[in-house]
Structure 1
Amino acid sequence: MNQENFKKATALMVLLSACLPTRMLAQETSQRLDSQFVNLVRHNEFNGNVLIAQQGKTIYSKSFGFADVAGERLNDAATTFNLASISKTFTSVAVLQLMEKRKLKLDDRFVRYFPEFPFADITISQLLSHTSGLIDYQIFEGSYQRDFKQIYTLKDLIPAIKADKRALGAKPGERWSYSNTGYGLLALLVEKLSGEAFQDYLSRHIFSPAGMNNSYVTSPLIPIKDSHRATRYEYVPYAPSVFRPVDSVKSDYIDAVVLGAILGPTAVVSNCQDLLNYDQALYAGKLLKAKTLKLAFTPAVLNSGEKVQMGWGGSYYGLGWMILQTRFGKVVWHSGGAAGIVTAFIRNLDKGQTLIVLDNVTHRGLHADAMDAFYLLNGASVAKKKRSAAAAYIAVLHRDGANAAAAQLLTMRSDTAAYFLDEREMNRLGYALAGDGFSAEALEVMKVNTLLFPASFNTYDSYGDLLKRAGKKQEAILMFERSLALNPNYEGAKKALAELNSGNH
């Protein structure tokens, strides 16, 4: 080998040796992320898609579970999901675009554009930062009682606010309080100032320039055919691998249908790749100027001068974005959650990292799991996740019977490092069994709950309630008497005892 070739060979070896640790580290990170999500799936805690990228390049992407159980269609890279409250970031971008076009100012009073609005001091900035003082969808409680089939839209917001004396829960700017109502008002504002329907504005001014070709707005009143869209599901509490479509679950009807046509706080549908395109369009300045984004990513300030802090993990709230300062960089993000939807969109501005997690089943712990993935991505360790002994016990009870469940419960109860046991969760799951007609199993749960938490008046009250329903009068009386012995002022037990003793039951 001549000297020139030797130099080239040596340079190549140095380059390869430098790249090898980086590749090994990337592979190790991918394996750690995969292990986390596979473990969540194994415990029936995730059903959806994940995409994780650095500097716009995907480093981990995987799909899990079913998009459509009845049709046996699996989630895949093309699957689209309702984003729930991640939609608020698009509403924020729309409002800030109108600000850049000088069609509004953030400190403008909302009443300037809607003179019929009853609260003159609320500003656009306060609506964006959830500091307006407006309550949430409780404003529709009265009208819902009169007509439970009505589907509410943006045009119903201001009349409902005017009709509800409770509508302003706090002085504007006094405190942070999450308000979907406020984001519906912002969608109304976008429509008025742009002259476009809200869904058309997002399509023309955000989805299209960002290259989000599979994204759109849909609602019960704006049906969009999409063969790739994931069906929204609830899991059966006592059989977590079994899913029910949310439109078949009575308790989900209000969320999914009655309130599902209020655009602004929710209703955007997208997939992982489109959200990555959105992320990159924000970095590239295709949607907003850098100084506007900086404003959106700065914590809002209350009247007191304090930064607007949420109750979640030390996050602050800016203009449509949650803000978290970590040792790995400044994170701006948003979570989403509704019936059959749990989502997370996490962006590390300092490292150009993007984490997108979309689930079409109501797995409520997923936001924390998504944040764990962020820390794993950055080489940090995360605490071992404690799981619910109550949920595991109920599942074994329903599948294998009382003896197997009791044995499992005793094992889990002693393993406090891996499991937690919650009285209220046991109670809730017992009632879930009762509601679906599994009365013997429900009674077993309530009985066990009294043994686990003998100092709680509520365990005896709930057991008595189900015994009463089952026609076991004497046993029910004993339970209600025990409940009253622990809490003599509890009116529920007094009423139940009176009914049982009078024979009116």
Structure 2
Amino acid sequence: MKYLAVILTSTLLVLGSCSKKNETKAKEKTRKKDPNALRYDSLDWNAEFKPMKSSAQEINHYKEGVSKFYDDFWVKGKVSGGFLVAKNGKIIFEKYQGMADASHKREIDQNTPLHIASISKVFTSMAIMKLIERNKINLDQKVNTILEGFPYDDITVRNLLSHRSGLPNYANVLWNNKKVMLNGEKPISNQGVLDVFREYKVKQIRPADKGFYYSNTNFAFLALIIEKVMKMPYGKAMKYMIFDPLEMKNTFVFDYDKDKDSIAKSYKYNGYEWAWDDFDRTYGDKNIYSTPRDLFKLDIAMYSDDFLPKKIKDEIFTGYSYEQKGYKNYGLGMRMLEYEDGKKLLYHNGWWHGNNTVFVHDVNNQFTVIALGNKQNKVIYTSFKLAGLTGTYPLKVPSIDSLKPHHK
């Protein structure tokens, strides 16, 4: 009997081992890079990531600096939102406070999607660059060869991505055009924006590629390009191309008709809920909801050349606007600070209604800052300066003492 028991135990161990090997092979098979896929392959992005080495003392320096900043600005500033900081691919600080829905006493936690505002542009640009990698479109292709009825002959995909199209912001155009009837009960769509620009022959502020002009119109039209090429709605395309492969389970494109009563609310400084308006149906420039943890998954994946080839990432992370002196610049869907010593800091901020957001992707130091707020509070933008903790950039981490004259 003992002999039989040993045989059975050995057999079970072998079968278990074989089962684990088969599971591993199955995972490896699903994570195999498909050179033809119009999506970011479901690779193990954490395994792809190659972390820098930092001493325990260095990590402690970051933790102490971030912790003090959080207490001084987020806690005392009564920020409502989520806050995450990572170094070398590991989360070193993460906190949540405030209400997702004050009327129902629903608190914000790590799984609460918040409106990421213009950080949505980073996602839109990544989807466009995937289409470019797969030769479905190209950077210098004229937009009017992709979008039917696009009324500008000089604008390319690259111009839209780099805010060098010369197109005015669609919100300003619609507000100033009394012929266009806006109704908060039925916000305008992306196609509606294009129809207005075509029908009313909206003029460019300047010809394409003659200067930088930040305009949400660019990314609203890029979203239409994604829909045209993918032959599916923007929300479905983003889920297929980016959210699912990166396992971003709490990230989605806001659907005004389906989601407006269930998502985390947006609040003014005084705590009153922010009302919907005429532009809550447009996307590409905004209207993605996510969490700090999900955005961190994007941050990690962006280090991999399997996410996008280096030559394409170089296009994204290159400054395109040098008409004016200074260190602020814009790549393809990504802001940056370019310093004289050659160092470059990548980031994107956002604002929409009561949502203020920060995303810092510091490649030089593998340092990440993600700050999402749903109650209007410009204190959130000070999170960007935490990049100064690395000592790489001339950014001074703010202290509560430096702001005392402005605090009451």
TM-score by length of 2: 0.78
Q: Which residue of 2 aligns with 1:279?
A: 299
Please tell me whether residue 299 in structure 1 is matched to residue 319 in structure 2. yes
**2:210 matched residue in structure 1:** 174
Amino acid at match of 1:184: A
State the distance in 1 between where 2:292 and 2:343 align. Answer: 22
Q: Aligned in 2, Cα 1:22/1:113: closer, same or farther, shift over 3 Å?
A: closer
Q: What is residue 359 of structure 1 aligned with on the other side?
A: 373
Which of 273, 297, 300 is matched with 1:245 structurally?
Answer: 273
> For 1:443-454, what aligned pairs fall within 5 Å after superposition?
none
1:132 and 2:152 equivalent? Answer: no
Change (3 A) 1:278 1:144: farther
1:381-420 CA-partner distances (Å, limit 9, x unpaired):
5354688xxxxxxxxxxxxxxxxxxxxxxxxxxxxx8325
Structure-2 separation of matches of 1:383 and 1:346: 16
Structure 2 counterpart of 1:266: 286
Please list the CA deviations of residues 133-172 of structure 1 after superposition, one character each: whole Å capped at 9, or x if unmatched: 0000222223686343331111112221124455411111
2:362 counterpart residue number: 348
Structure 2 counterpart SS, 1:283: coil
2:145 to 112, 129, 142: 112
TM-fit CA distance, 1:212: 1.0
Cα deviation code 1:212-231 (max 9, x no counterpart): 121111131342786xx532
1:186-235 CA distances to partner (integer Å, 9 max, x unpaired)? 11111111112111111011111112121111131342786xx5321112
Unaligned runs of 5+ in 2: 1-53
Q: Is the 8 A contact 1:45 1:366 kept in 2?
A: no
Partner deviation per Cα, 1:285-320 (whole Å, 9 max, x = no partner): 34322211111000125xxxx3688xxx83210100
SS of alignment partner, residue 88 of structure 1? helix
Q: Distance between the aligned counterparts of 1:147 and 1:173, measured in 2?
A: 31
> 2:348 aligns to what SS in structure 1?
strand
Whichever residue aligns with residue 270 of structure 1, its letter is S
Question: What per-residue deviation string (whole Å, max 9, x for no partner) do you get for residues 447-474 of structure 1?
Answer: xxxxxxxxxxxxxxxxxxxxxxxxxxxx
Question: Could you report, residue by residue, the CA deviation over 1:60-99 in whole angstroms, capped at 9, with x for unpaired residues?
Answer: 1111222222222322222211110000011101111111
Contact 1:329/1:349 (<8 A) preserved: no
Which shifted more, 321-330 or 353-362? 321-330
> d(CA) in 1 for partners of 2:206 and 2:327?
22
Match of 2:351 among 337, 360, 364: 337
Question: Greater helix percent: which structure?
Answer: 1
Whether the 8 Å contact between 1:87 and 1:264 is mirrored in structure 2 is yes
* Structure-2 residue corresponding to 1:148: 183
User: Which residue does the alignment assign to 1:70?
Assistant: 103
Instruction: Indicate the SS of the match to 1:343.
Output: strand
- Aligned residue among 334, 338, 341 for 1:321: 334
Compared CA separation, residues 47 and 147, structure 1 to 2 (3 A): closer
**Greater C-alpha radius of gyration:** 1
Report if the CA contact (8 A) 1:300-1:307 is conserved: no
Write out per-residue CA displacement over residues 106-151 of structure 1, whole angstroms, 9 at most, x where no aligned residue. Answer: 1111111234221111111001111100000222223686343331
Contact 2:72–2:400 under 8 Å retained in 1: no
- Quick one: structure 1 residues 72 and 221, their matched pair in 2 at CA, closer, same or farther if it must change by over 3 Å? closer
1:187 aligned partner? 223
Residue 365 (structure 1) shift = 4.0
Residue 206 (structure 1) aligns with: 242
Higher RCO (CA 8 Å, separation ≥ 6 residues): 2
4+ residue runs of structure 1 moved beyond 4 angstroms? 326-329, 377-381, 383-387
- Report the Cα offset of residue 323 of structure 1: 1.4
- The CA distance in 1 between the partners of 2:208 and 2:243, in whole Å, is 32
Q: TM-score, normalised by structure 1?
A: 0.64
Q: Deviations over 1:243-288 (max 9, x none)?
A: 11112xxxxx43xxx1011111011111111111111111123432
Q: Where does residue 465 of structure 1 map in the other structure?
A: none
Aligned to 1:231: 265
1:21-63 Cα distance to aligned partner (Å, 9 max, x none): 9334423431221221222235435221111111211111111
* Conserved? CA contact 1:86–1:344, under 8 Å: yes
Compared with structure 1, are the counterparts of its residues 308 and 122 closer, same or farther at alpha carbon in structure 2 (3 Å cutoff)?
farther
Residue 246 of structure 1 aligns with an amino acid whose one-letter code is W
Alpha-carbon deviation of 1:336? 0.7
Q: Answer whether contact 2:118 2:350 (CA < 8 A) is retained.
A: yes
Provide closer, same or farther for how the CA distance between residues 83 and 108 of structure 1 changes in structure 2, counting only shifts above 3 A.
same
Question: Would you say how many aligned residue pairs link Structure 1 and Structure 2?
Answer: 348
SS of 1:372's equivalent in the other structure is helix
Structure 1 residues 72 and 286: alpha-carbon distance in aligned structure 2, compared to 1, 3 A threshold: farther
- 2:4 corresponding residue in structure 1: none
